[in-house]
């Protein structure tokens, strides 16, 4: 090849390469194949997104009816049976510290010791360099709690459901869940690409008919339920669920987020309440953020399941290890749950007392069985928000739960009852709720606005 030809080739290659690079790197405008400039639509402003417009509409409606924003209110102290917001001390029913262990000196001391020894962060994924002895200590304690081979802890309860379901299931699989299941399960199904179906709340006939119809069309089927439903406060018939999943060859996952420390004679959760052999549940899931007064999530089950998650699930492998003080706090809280069963008894007594008081006052408590979660159904979302607002002015902090967290027309106030509440506090909250609810139910919100 002559020198002149080589030079010509090089320069034409260089031109092509430059053109390619320009195509790749040009943002809003780039050169098209024929060398003309192409124009692209500008990126949308976030404030123009329909989802954002929806938020503005809801806020405007709330403002019109004089309802202040119930969300993101900063608490100025530890939120226990009482709390302080804006300098006001309030009875608090919005926190799920069920056994009152958040801030317990022994739990706080465990966290402090872990900070002194390891600092506040694991500073890496556990697979790489984030493993600390307290991680395995907590996992072993959780595995023992469920009487299964092993457990794994992750940095968030929500991410535990998303990551576990997202990794275990694939496009050839089916996930069947209770209609009232937590959002994290639905998000996990989306990530996995599996087909998803729901059965009517706690309707095992409906579950069976779905399994009968669909089981054999899929590689694996996972059934997911909650041990204590977080919005409704009712429990499951775990013995029957185990029979059903065995019969149809499905896996069963039980989310114990709200059941741990709450159901069962000594707070061991659904396994104790239903008197079943815990190894017959394929996947136990729970969070560290409620009874265990930390944050994070866990999966407990056989060692193959745990090894699978610890070596392959992206949400574990590519995420930082649980913060050491949180692991230590959860570990200590789990010991206290086992040692101080009086807390579970007091919670049970408070839960039943509150439910019975509400019922006597004629409040609609839906499916609640009087454990730690009791809703008071209102119906209309705006009225539920207004009721919570009025109760706040009367010294009661309780959250309204509105669509999409619950079905449309099922808006409610959700009361979290804990072992720290006293009967007079519970009675007072129920009575004020009845009074304020009556006023709101008899008010036409539109008339009220026009008159004001």
User: Measured between alpha carbons, how far is 375 from 355 in angstroms, rounded to an integer?
Assistant: 9
Q: Rank residues 65 and 70 by Cβ distance to ligand PLP and give the closer one.
A: 70
The values of phi and psi at residue 21, to 5°, are: -60, -40
Q: Is position 137 annotated as part of the catalytic site?
A: no
Closest to 135 in 3D by CA, of 153, 116, 150: 153
Nearer to ligand PLP, 414 or 421 (CB): 414
Among 263, 289, 368, 397, binds ligand PLP (CB under 6 A): 289
Asked if 41 is an active-site residue, the reply is no
Binding mask 230-269 for ligand PLP (x = CB under 6 A): x------------------------x-xx-----------
Q: Which is nearer to ligand PLP, 158 or 386 (CB)?
A: 158
* Shortest Å distance, C-beta 416 to ligand PLP: 11
Nearest residue to ligand PLP by CB is: 157
Dist. CA 385–CA 218, nearest whole Å: 43
427 is catalytic: no
Single out the segment in contact with ligand PLP by CB under 6 A; choices: 11-19, 156-164, 329-337, 367-375: 156-164
Token pair for residue 201? 């709340």
290, 346, 383, 421: the catalytic one is 290
Q: Is 270 in the site for ligand PLP (CB under 6 A)?
A: no
The candidate with the shortest Cα–Cα distance to 301, out of 323, 321, 283, 280, is 283
* Residue 319 beta carbon to ligand PLP: minimum distance, rounded to whole angstroms: 13
Q: For 166-264, list the strands marked E by DSSP.
A: 174-178, 195-199, 221-226, 251-255
For residue 266, how far is the Cα from the chain centroid?
A: 24
Enclosing H/E stretch for 339: helix 324-339
Contacts for 250 with CB less than 8 Å, ≥ 6 apart = 176, 211, 215, 220, 221, 222, 223, 244
- Report the residue from 161, 374, 397, 410 that binds ligand PLP according to the rule CB under 6 A: 161
When binding is defined by CB under 6 A, the residue of 83, 92, 95, 156 that contacts ligand PLP is 156
Catalytic residue among 230, 293, 319, 381, which?
230
**How many residues form the binding site for ligand PLP (CB under 6 A)?**
15
Q: Which is nearer to ligand PLP, 353 or 416 (CB)?
A: 416
By the 8 A CB rule, do 254 and 240 touch? no
Beta strands at 297-301 and 283-287: parallel, antiparallel or unpaired: antiparallel
Q: For residues 135 and 158, which CB has a smaller minimum distance to ligand PLP in the complex?
A: 158
- Which residues lie across from 412 on neighbouring strands? 377, 401
Helix (DSSP H) and strand (DSSP E) numbers for the chain: 16, 15
Smallest gap from residue 182 Cβ to ligand PLP (A) = 4
The residue among 295, 313, 221 whose CA lies nearest residue 257 is: 295
Judged by CB, which is closer to ligand PLP: 184, or 263? Answer: 184
Would you count residue 287 as binding ligand PLP (CB under 6 A)?
yes
Helix axes 324-339, 133-146, angle to 10 degrees: 30
Among 126, 177, 182, 414, contact with ligand PLP (rule: CB under 6 A): 182
Element (H, E) at 246: helix 238-248
Point out the residues that are catalytic.
230, 258, 290
Footprint of ligand PLP (CB under 6 A):
156-158, 161, 182, 184, 226, 230, 255, 257-258, 287, 289, 295, 297
């Amino acid at each position: 090849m002559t020198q002149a030809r080589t030079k010509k080739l090089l320069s034409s290659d260089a031109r092509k390469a430059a053109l390619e690079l320009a195509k790749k790197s040009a943002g809003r405008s780039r050169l098209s194949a024929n060398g003309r400039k192409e124009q692209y639509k500008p990126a949308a402003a976030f404030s123009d997104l329909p989802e954002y417009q929806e938020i503005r509409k809801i806020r405007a409606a709330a403002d019109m009816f004089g309802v202040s924003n119930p969300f993101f209110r900063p608490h100025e102290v530890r939120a226990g049976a009482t709390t302080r917001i804006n300098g006001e001390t309030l009875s608090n029913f919005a926190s799920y510290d069920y056994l009152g262990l958040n801030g317990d000196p022994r739990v706080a001391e465990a966290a402090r010791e872990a900070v002194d020894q390891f600092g506040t962060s694991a500073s890496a994924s556990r697979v790489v360099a984030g493993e600390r002895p307290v991680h395995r200590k907590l996992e072993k304690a959780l595995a023992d709690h469920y009487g299964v081979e092993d457990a794994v802890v992750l940095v968030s309860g929500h991410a535990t459901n998303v990551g576990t379901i997202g990794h275990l299931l694939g496009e050839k699989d089916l996930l069947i869940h209770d209609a009232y299941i937590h959002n994290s399960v639905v998000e996990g199904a989306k990530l996995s690409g599996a087909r998803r179906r729901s059965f009517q709340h706690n309707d095992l006939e409906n579950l069976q008919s779905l399994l009968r119809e669909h089981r054999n069309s899929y590689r694996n089927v996972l059934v997911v339920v909650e041990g204590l439903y977080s919005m409704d406060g009712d429990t499951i018939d775990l013995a029957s669920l185990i029979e059903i999943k065995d019969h149809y060859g499905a896996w069963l996952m039980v989310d114990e987020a709200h059941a741990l420390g709450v159901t069962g004679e000594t707070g061991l959760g659904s396994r104790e309440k239903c008197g079943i052999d815990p190894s017959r549940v394929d996947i136990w899931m729970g969070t560290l953020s409620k009874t265990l007064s930390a944050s994070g999530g866990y999966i407990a089950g056989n060692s193959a399941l745990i090894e699978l998650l610890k070596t392959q699930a992206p949400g574990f492998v590519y995420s930082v290890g649980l913060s050491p003080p949180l692991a230590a706090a959860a570990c200590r809280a789990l010991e206290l749950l086992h040692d101080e069963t009086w807390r579970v008894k007091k919670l049970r007594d408070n839960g039943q007392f509150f439910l019975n008081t509400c019922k006597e006052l004629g409040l609609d408590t839906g499916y609640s069985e009087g454990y730690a979660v009791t809703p008071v159904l209102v119906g209309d979302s705006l009225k539920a928000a207004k009721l919570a607002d009025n109760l706040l002015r009367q010294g009661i902090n309780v959250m309204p739960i509105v669509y999409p967290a619950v079905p449309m027309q099922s808006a409610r106030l959700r009361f979290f009852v804990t072992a720290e509440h006293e009967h007079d506090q519970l009675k007072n909250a129920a009575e004020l709720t009845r009074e304020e609810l009556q006023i709101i139910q008899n008010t036409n919100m539109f008339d009220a606005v026009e008159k004001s």
